[in-house]
A and B are shown apart, each in its own frame.
Chain A
Amino acid sequence: MNCVECENNLVFYLYGELPAEVEESMEQHLDGCAGCRAQETRLANMHRAIEAERLEPSLELLSACRQDLAVSLRAVTEQSDSGWRRWLRPLDIPGWSWRLAGCTALVAVGFLAARALPGSAAKGIGGEQPVVSAVSHVEKMGDGLVRIVLQDSVARELSGRLDDQAVQSLLLAAARNTVDPAIRVDALDLLRGGISSPEVRDTLLAALRKDPNDGVRMKALESLRPLAGEPQVRAVLLDALREDRNAMVRANAVDVLTMGNAQNSELAGALQELMQREENLDVRRQGQRVLRSMNASLETF
């Protein structure tokens, strides 16, 4: 083997992708050629530098992904708690952020319950045990002392019908403010029963517009299906079609928008615009199917 052949094979020699006999003659040549050996060393150094750039996902990122997925799958499969609830369980790792997130959710709901309950027809079963503490303030006091303010809250249960004002406002608050996306999905799901109320509709629209969790936006989108003909709802659906960062949400927005038959010209326009830039194949197919059925051109104008 000469130097030119050696250089040509060097890359795949280091990748271990050469046939055994070529590899052997490479080794023979490298043993006797300082120039090629130096090239080999440089390339191997480069590989080491590149491999040092490899990122390992953190466990926090992994568990956040698993939680997102659990929520979305529940929204998709409409499955009851038993199956996917296990996904929401924190990983068995010594991380505290999960517990903290759990506490915040409980604290928030606890306070809301305390405010909303009195005077309502709903039946609250109050326990007096403080179950959760959240630290709201820390301060150094001198003499090596530290002052900590804890917010204790009490877990309570209540049950009532969906048309009960207190029940509905708790569900609305849970859908808007709870940290745990699984609770937001459950709340939105329950609220579907009260979709005739303007407040419920606004909450669903706000969730579709702004909720950071893909599963929650999917659930909101699905819940808005019966209202797909209303102009105000259509406007938000069209925005989701144009702007949502999740392809599933965009694809489903197409689906829901075709339900309401009002202002199809606007939908056709939005879809044509979408076809100009949508990269996701599922969404493109969905959009093309609808456009074909609307007999519109696949191009703008």
Chain B
Amino acid sequence: MDEASLIRAAQRGDEDAFAVLVRAHDQSVLRIALNLLRSPEDARDVYQETFLRVHRSLQQFRFDCNFSTWLHRIATNICLDHLRRRKVRRESPRVASVSSGQEIDPLDTVAEPRADSDPQRRVLSEELRGRIQAVLRELSPRERVVFEMRHFEGMRLRAIGEALGTSEEAAKNCLFRATQKMRSALGEFV
């Protein structure tokens, strides 16, 4: 069955078709959430909220954009909610940054930082990683979403604009601001 038929079946209430749709897209949703929120627990919440909302509002999907664009829009809005709430509460992620390389949560089996035998280089690269994380946290939620969609998901500006329900130009401005902040913070390190 192609995706359009699956969507129509799911809209008619076919839960198996819905399950297939979820499995086709859920890894990318989870990756976006994990990278934006840097917390497996929060990513888990976003995953759940995203697909429950998709399940509830599937009837409203009218095939006027890609299903994945629509899904990303829902997921990124939920992530933005989380990021804004975190900004308001001045709250750091529930799970500490993974830059220590320690496994903190059994679910948090993310990629290990690359081993580097030269201690001085390792210290420098730890410092660099710390700075990158700090800048990411300082970006506005929207800048961060745009920046990560470009760098972690490899999305084109047009696709990012669509996913955020905004223009390519607005996404471009956001990305430019974010990159400039990164450049000025990482200046002497790269």
A95: shortest Cβ distance to chain B, in Å?
A: 10
B126: shortest Cβ distance to chain A, in Å?
A: 12
Contact assessment for A83 and B49 in the assembled complex, using a CB-CB cutoff below 8 Å: no
Is A64 interfacial (CB 8 A cutoff)? yes
Contact assessment for A49 and B186 in the assembled complex, using a CB-CB cutoff below 8 Å: yes
Report if A60-B156 is in contact (Cβ < 8 Å); known contacts: A55-B38, A55-B111. no
Contact assessment for A72 and B52 in the assembled complex, using a CB-CB cutoff below 8 Å: yes
Quick one: CB contact mask for B130-169 with A, threshold 8 Å, 1 for yes?
0011001000000000000011100011000000000000
Report if A83-B16 is in contact (Cβ < 8 Å); known contacts: A15-B150, A17-B172. yes
Range for the number of chain A residues in contact with chain B: 35 or more
Interface centre among B111, B175, B190 (most CB of A within 10 A): B190
Is A291 interfacial (CB 8 A cutoff)? no
Contact assessment for A279 and B49 in the assembled complex, using a CB-CB cutoff below 8 Å: no
Contact assessment for B27 and A52 in the assembled complex, using a CB-CB cutoff below 8 Å: no
Which residue of chain B is the closest to A11 with respect to CB atoms? B179
Is A158 interfacial (CB 8 A cutoff)? no
Is A73 interfacial (CB 8 A cutoff)? yes
Chain B residues within 8 Å of chain A by Cβ, number = 57
| Interface residue ranges of A41-74 to B (CB < 8 Å) | 42-43, 45-47, 49-58, 60-62, 64-66, 68-69, 72-73
Q: How many Å lie between the Cα of A42 and that of B189 in the bound state? A: 9
Contact assessment for B172 and A64 in the assembled complex, using a CB-CB cutoff below 8 Å: no
Is B9 interfacial (CB 8 A cutoff)? no
Contact assessment for A73 and B31 in the assembled complex, using a CB-CB cutoff below 8 Å: no
Binds B, one of A198-206, A225-233, A244-252, A267-275: A244-252
Which residue of chain A is the closest to B153 with respect to CB atoms? A54
Is B34 interfacial (CB 8 A cutoff)? yes
B128: shortest Cβ distance to chain A, in Å?
A: 6
Contact assessment for A58 and B108 in the assembled complex, using a CB-CB cutoff below 8 Å: yes
Contact assessment for A54 and B35 in the assembled complex, using a CB-CB cutoff below 8 Å: yes
Contact assessment for B26 and A56 in the assembled complex, using a CB-CB cutoff below 8 Å: no
Is A87 interfacial (CB 8 A cutoff)? yes
B52: shortest Cβ distance to chain A, in Å?
A: 6
Contact assessment for B40 and A248 in the assembled complex, using a CB-CB cutoff below 8 Å: no
Which residue of chain A is the closest to B148 with respect to CB atoms? A54
Is A79 interfacial (CB 8 A cutoff)? yes
Q: Chain B contacts of A98 at CB under 8 A? A: none
| Interface residue ranges of B25-39 to A (CB < 8 Å) | 26-27, 30-31, 34-35, 38
Given contacts A58-B110, A65-B26, 20 further A-B contacts (CB under 8 A): A15-B157, A15-B175, A17-B156, A51-B152, A55-B34, A55-B110, A57-B30, A57-B43, A58-B109, A61-B40, A61-B43, A62-B26, A62-B30, A65-B43, A65-B44, A66-B22, A66-B23, A69-B47, A86-B19, A281-B81
